[in-house]
Amino acid sequence: MQGPARRRTGRLGRAGRLLPTPTGTPFTFGYALVLLATSLFAEYGDPGTVAGLLHASSTDVAHLSRTPLLVLVASALWVAGGLLSPYAIGFVFVLTALERRIGAWRTAAVFLVGHVVATLATEIPVALSVLAGHLPDTSLHRLDYGISFGLMASVGALAGLLTPVARGLVLAWVSVMLLQDLVAFEDPLTNWGHPLALAVGAGCGPLLRRAGRRI
């Protein structure tokens, strides 16, 4: 019985490594708790209060021009679509896997860079288009929040740590999904930001592979 018991324990141990833990993946674990709290509040809190907080957290041009640091942080405290959205599920597994390979600080840096770069790259053209008269002033106040840009950067970074074949498969699969979103044209600015964030994360691959070998 000892052999089967050890194998079951080993499988449970490997499965447990897919999920964040306070000691093994402190950044992902702590961030996940924050997202859990805000998602529950968004689901069960007073609708007016929730709407006001989401609007105040939006990384639209108006907010970025006044309080850029505040809204860049606040916008990443919410999950668009709630706890059962693909973003929430992907966050747990992708960031856990990435943090186990490169550590908490580097994972946080990848997420932050992807979030900030993709946000600015999608909102600055809006500001310029409004100044040029190609878009109405209402475009300066669009609702934009969530973890999707940081998540896409993390996916790209994680893919960069895989073998060439696995890397190509992951990037191809994610790229197809992002292309479908672009074709649907439901939210063009956000949808263009996703492949940009993915490319930012993938571009960190060489540096992260060296960092991962040192951990």
For helices 188-203 and 148-160, angle between their N-to-C axes, nearest 10 degrees: 30
Q: Please enumerate in sequence order all residues whose Cβ is within 8 A of that of 200, keeping only pairs 6 or more positions apart, or say none.
A: 113, 114, 117, 118, 153, 156
- Alpha-carbon distance 164 to 183, whole Å? 28
Is the CB of residue 123 less than 8 Å from the CB of residue 63?
no
Q: What is the pLDDT along the chain (215 residues), one digit of tens a residue?
A: 455 545 544 554 555 688 999 999 999 999 999 999 999 999 999 999 999 999 999 999 999 999 999 999 999 999 998 898 999 999 999 999 999 999 999 999 999 999 999 999 999 988 988 888 878 888 888 889 999 999 999 999 999 998 889 989 999 999 888 888 777 766 667 788 999 999 999 998 777 766 555 44
Q: Taking the mean position of all CA atoms in its chain, how far away is CA 162?
A: 19
The length of the chain, given as a count of residues = 215
Q: 24-214: which CATH topology?
A: Rhomboid-like fold (1.20.1540)
**What sign does the CA torsion over 60, 95, 106, 162 have?**
negative
The whole-model pTM stands at 0.87
